[in-house]
Amino acid sequence: MSPRIEITVTPAGETSVETKSFAGPSCRTASQPYEEALGTTSSERLTPEYHAAVPVAQSVEQRA
Amino acid sequence: MSHIVTVAAKATDPAALAAACRRLKLPPPQTETVTFFDRSVRTGSTVRPPGFVYPIVCDTDSGDLYHDTYEGRWGSEAFVGRLLQAYAVEKTKLQAKARGHRCTETALADGSVRLTVTAGAAGFGGTPQYLSAGEAA
């Protein structure tokens, strides 16, 4: 699945920004402009995918 | 997923605020100085939802909203949240358009709105964010 940013806004105006299908810290670069445009970041949680290596290594394994 | 960030929305963009008013079928915001019941004075972009005694004042410098609904007697507290929701949705759409990204909107059962942003031709941030196996080969 292609990388995407999902932004959910509740009826009370509470907003969460979630990145999906990014590998490594590139998700931060992608979502930062949206986070800054929307307001002030109040919390952040890293997921296991954040710590994953970029999938280049995987492709090398596949070719070997 | 990679990371999840919670953002306290700040209404700093007059264009997004105007779009939020259109979305909620409200008159466009006006620049006014308002004296609330407690004699506090606020200047900013005012939004006048139906049934509100005092308008909602948006200070687009700080992004803060000011209102006096007298615990719901002078206006719906929930509507203040809906204005902030509409602002965040429209601000996201404007941001996506400016960056050449695609943005689709989905209404959720609980009244929330989900916006899904995908990259345009230039990718996210103008640099590749993800390498598929084919691209890396």
pLDDT digits (tens, 9 = 90+) for B48-59: 999 999 999 999
Residue B29, pLDDT score: 97
Distance CA B97, CA B103 (A): 8
Give the pLDDT mean for B23-46: 97
Domain limits for position B97: 14-119
Per-residue pLDDT band for A55 (boundaries 50, 70, 90) equals low
Whether residue B124 lies inside any domain: the answer is no
Enumerate the residues of chain A whose CB falls inside 8 A of the CB of residue B89. Answer: 9
Instruction: Look at residue B104 and give its three-state secondary structure.
Output: strand
Residue B130, pLDDT score: 42
A62 vs B95: which has the higher pLDDT: B95
Whether residue B75 lies inside any domain: the answer is yes
Whether residue B3 lies inside any domain: the answer is no
A28 vs A48: which has the higher pLDDT: A28
* pLDDT > 70: percent of chain B: 90
Q: Is A33 exposed, middle or buried (0-12, 13-18, 19+ CB in 10 A)?
A: middle
A59 vs B136: which has the higher pLDDT: A59
Whether residue B136 lies inside any domain: the answer is no
Predicted ipTM?
0.85
Residue B70 pLDDT > 50 = yes
Enumerate the residues of chain B whose CB falls inside 8 A of the CB of residue A61. Answer: none
Mean pLDDT of chain A: 81
pTM over 0.90: no
Please indicate if any CB of chain A lies within 8 Å of the CB of B109. no
B120 vs B109: which has the higher pLDDT: B109
Whether residue B137 lies inside any domain: the answer is no
Q: Is B101 exposed, middle or buried (0-12, 13-18, 19+ CB in 10 A)?
A: buried
Distance CA B14, CA B123 (A): 27
* Tens of pLDDT, residues B72-101: 999 999 999 999 999 999 999 999 999 999
Whether residue B106 lies inside any domain: the answer is yes
Whether residue B110 lies inside any domain: the answer is yes
How long a stretch of residues is chain A? 64
Give the pLDDT mean for B94-112: 96
Please indicate if any CB of chain A lies within 8 Å of the CB of B25. no
Residue B81, pLDDT score: 95
* B57, B66 Cβ separation under 8 angstroms: yes
Instruction: Give the minimum alpha-carbon distance from A51 to chain B in angstroms, rounded to a whole number.
Output: 8
Give the pLDDT mean for B123-127: 66
Residue B106, pLDDT score: 98
Compare CB distances from A21 to B7, B112, B130 and report the shortest one's residue: B130
Per-residue pLDDT band for B1 (boundaries 50, 70, 90) equals low
Nearest CA in chain B to A41: B7
Please tell me the total count of domains within chain B: 1
| 37-76 in chain B: CB under 8 A from chain A | 63
Compare CB distances from B9 to A3, A39, A45 and report the shortest one's residue: A39
